[in-house]
Amino acid sequence: MSNSDANILNSSSFSTTTSTSNNDNNKNWSLSNISTALSNFVIQYNYGSMSCALLIMSASVCTYNDDIKLYSDCELMGEQKEWVEPTANSIVYLGSIIGQLTLGFCGDYFGRTIALAIALFLTTIGAFFSAVAPPYNNEKAVSIYAVIIFFRFIMGIGVGAIFPLTATKADEDAGREQTNGNPEKKLNLIAASWSYFWQMPGILAPWVLTFLLNLNKNSSASANWRCLLGFGAIPSGICTVLLVIEYLSSDVKSSEKLLTRETVSQNTWGELKEYMSNRSSQYKLIGASMPWFLFDFYIYGLGLVSGYILISINGSTKDSNVSSAANLLLISYEEIILLVSTIPGTIL
């Protein structure tokens, strides 16, 4: 470890000793455990729900029929103009990048719990308002997509920030719990892995919900896609409340003094610049980010094109109307099978 590293670490060491009972410690760790696990579910549900919603939406909100203006006259069901799908999907990632950069910094400045609560609140707002996007009838489809895309961007800011905040919070809180609240700086990486595991149900959930919604032939396409997008607000809302409860407990407040500017030097930005001026720190950043960059490049890339690969494998499984109930059932069924099959890999 370099001198620079050591200085940074010394400056962030605890200056006080907390004395908390084991019961309080357990209670807070359990809350933290639940909130970080549920937050990871929220990440993947909200990333995936838009793709499912777009499949359903094309039956009722078709941009090719703007001139006709009536939902019932969507003659080209399943057809969308080229900008709809890539914009709706990529805007979430754009928001995520902004959220990771800004709320990540807030996590170091204000503390993990507060920053995570803000991230989840933004996610709740974004998911809820994209589900209730006006107009509700006889209006241009473009305006619906514009409203949804705006709120997906807001949601993306929150969802993106959940990644670094839950990973760090899970590690630190579990490490603290293992030392009975004794503020030794230990991390428990298994805790982050455990909370990460809950991303898997989050990936599955939108497809399962799509499948179930399409089994009910009486529900309209509009109700289905609104339900699909809006469902993402429920777990994130619950998580926000859990984090507020957790923060209001005295134990968390005291243990997170480490992370506030009350007990360490006042200049987060200065500490960051000092740390990153060291060559070994730069290598660490490359080691932390580049494997993730490469992995996300091919796994998200293949994920987005997996539908096309499945079509290549099965021939044309779709009829001319992508949004027909039969097609949606088939597509969601295949995706569920594909995703369930990946669970053993995740457990391994």
Q: CB 29 → another protein: shortest distance, Å?
A: 11
Q: CB 43 → another protein: shortest distance, Å?
A: 10
Q: Is residue 144 within 8 Å of 133, Cβ to Cβ?
A: yes
Q: How far apart are CA 84 and CA 243, in angstroms?
A: 35
Q: From the CB of residue 182, how many other CB atoms can be counted at a distance below 10 Å?
A: 14
Q: Which is nearer to another protein, 181 or 237 (CB)?
A: 181
Q: CB 294 → another protein: shortest distance, Å?
A: 4
Q: CB 15 → another protein: shortest distance, Å?
A: 13
Q: Which is nearer to another protein, 140 or 253 (CB)?
A: 253
Q: How far apart are CA 123 and CA 113, in angstroms?
A: 15
Q: Which is nearer to another protein, 11 or 219 (CB)?
A: 11
Q: Is residue 127 within 8 Å of 65, Cβ to Cβ?
A: no
Q: How far apart are CA 176 and CA 160, in angstroms?
A: 25
Q: Which is nearer to another protein, 132 or 276 (CB)?
A: 276
Q: Supply the DSSP string of 240-258, one letter for each residue.
A: HHHHHHHHHSHHHHHHGGG
Q: Is residue 125 within 8 Å of 155, Cβ to Cβ?
A: yes
Reference 120, options 34, 194, 226; nearest CA is 34
Q: For tokens 């007990």, what's the residue? A: 263
Q: CB 66 → another protein: shortest distance, Å?
A: 26
Q: Which is nearer to another protein, 139 or 271 (CB)?
A: 271
CA 174 vs CA 25, 167, 189, 282: distances in Å:
10, 11, 8, 27
255 burial via Cβ count (<10 Å: 0-12, 13-18, 19+): buried
State the maximum Cα–Cα separation within the chain, in Å, rounded to a whole number. Answer: 70
Q: Which is nearer to another protein, 220 or 342 (CB)?
A: 342
Burial code (b: 16+ CB inside 10 Å, e: under 16) for 111-133 equals bbbbbbbbbbbbbbbbbbbbbeb
Q: Which is nearer to another protein, 218 or 308 (CB)?
A: 308
Q: CB 153 → another protein: shortest distance, Å?
A: 14
Q: CB 244 → another protein: shortest distance, Å?
A: 19
Q: CB 45 → another protein: shortest distance, Å?
A: 16
Q: Which is nearer to another protein, 249 or 260 (CB)?
A: 260
